[in-house]
Amino acid sequence: MEPIIRNFRNLYTPEGPSARLIGIADNPPTCTMTYSEIYPDKTSSHHIHPWEHELLIIRGAGTLVCDGKEFPVKEGDAIFVPGNVDHYTLNNGGKGVIRRIEINPLAASRTTGGRETGRRGSGKPPVIRNIQSLNQRTGNRLVGSKDGAPTYIMLYGEMAPGRASHEDTGGHTHAWEHTAFIVEGSCTLHCNGKDYMVSEGDAVLVPPNTPHQWRNTGKHPVKRVTFNPAAAEGHGA
């Protein structure tokens, strides 16, 4: 099977509705991915629903409000909002437009979405962890099962020029999929015997049971976030 590769710039209209990068029609096994922007002094949708969100702030800064409590968020923040929490994000950080990706379980695409607002939810706080906080002790996990994530985990990786994933084996194959977003740089995705160029702003779905390897054939580092099903936790990206 071939990977799905879509860049948000080809789908999103400035000041328009969010753009579905990986949707239910793509038959993703675990989750969908959406790109959206929040303009200064505007907010995201204010709602509450049974499922969780995971988000990455690509650019900008503001305030995440969960059950009436405020949490500052900024560029590079990975965010886990538990299910049944009333929430929205306000762009009041003075850093221009907030650009972000949002990951939802498949159940979210099979409903009409959360509609109730202003009702207090479970009171569970969000998890907010910045990419810059990762180190040898924490490893590459931004959001995982220890944070209460029930469906999928979020990993972060950087690849220097000339390097590749799983260099000793020439790539790998596993029973789960990867849903990834290229935060910075460009590289080659070698997938099922073919090469695909992926670049900043690309959403990528690598199907399960598909041999693959990420290769940085360029002159600059590549940064990406990867979402794996929870059952794959501990097996890397």
Residue 113 has pLDDT above 70, yes or no: no
- Indicate if 124 and 148 belong to the same structural domain: no
Domain shared by 120 and 12, yes or no: yes
Quickly list DSSP for 171-206: SB--SS-EEEEEEESEEEEEETTEEEEEETTEEEEE
> What range does the domain containing 34 cover?
8-130
Q: What single string gives the DSSP state of each residue in the chain? A: -PPEEEEGGGTPPTTS--EEEE-GGG--SSEEEEEEEE-TT-B---BB-SS-EEEEEEE-EEEEEETTEEEEEETTEEEEE-SS--EEEE--SSSS-EEEEEEEEHHHHTS----B-S-----PPPEEEEGGG--TTTTTEEE-GGGT-SSEEEEEEEE-TT-BTTTTTTSB--SS-EEEEEEESEEEEEETTEEEEEETTEEEEEPTT--EEEE--SSS-EEEEEEEEGGGTTS--
Distance between start and end Cα atoms, the chain: 18
Question: Do residues 150 and 169 share a domain?
Answer: yes
Residue in the structure block whose two tokens are 């505007």 = 42
Instruction: Choose one of 99, 130, 161: the last residue of a domain.
Output: 130
Domain boundary among 98, 130, 162: 130
* Residue 6 to residue 235: CA distance in whole angstroms: 25
Both 96 and 154 in a single domain? no
Query: How far is 175 from 210, CA to CA, in rounded Å?
Result: 8
Both 124 and 207 in one domain: the answer is no
125 and 213, same domain (yes or no): no
With respect to residue 215, please indicate whether it lies within any of the assigned structural domains. yes
CB contact set of 158 (below 8 Å; sequence gap of 6+): 221, 222, 223
Instruction: State the sign of the Cα–Cα–Cα–Cα dihedral 182, 114, 141, 167.
Output: negative
237 found inside a domain? no
147 and 121 in a common domain: no
Residue 115: the pLDDT is 55
User: What is the pLDDT confidence band of residue 110, given thresholds at 50, 70 and 90?
Assistant: confident
Per-residue model confidence as pLDDT tens digits over 53-62 = 999 999 999 9
Answer whether residue 135 is part of any domain: no
Q: Mind listing the pLDDT tens digit for each residue in 71-80?
A: 999 999 999 9
What integer is the mean pLDDT of 84-109? 96
26 belongs to a structural domain: yes
Q: Which of 130, 149, 166 is where one domain is finished? A: 130
Are residues 181 and 90 part of one domain? Answer: no
Residues 215-228 pLDDT 10s: 999 999 999 999 99
User: Do 36 and 106 share a structural domain?
Assistant: yes
pLDDT tier for residue 1 given thresholds of 50, 70 and 90: confident
Instruction: Compute φ and ψ for 207, nearest 5 degrees.
Output: -65, 155
CATH number, domain with residue 170: 2.60.120.10
61, 98 in Cβ contact below 8 A?
A: yes
pTM of the model: 0.94
CA distances from 46 to 63, 68, 116, 128, 216 (A): 13, 11, 8, 19, 39
Cβ 45 vs Cβ 86: under 8 Å: no
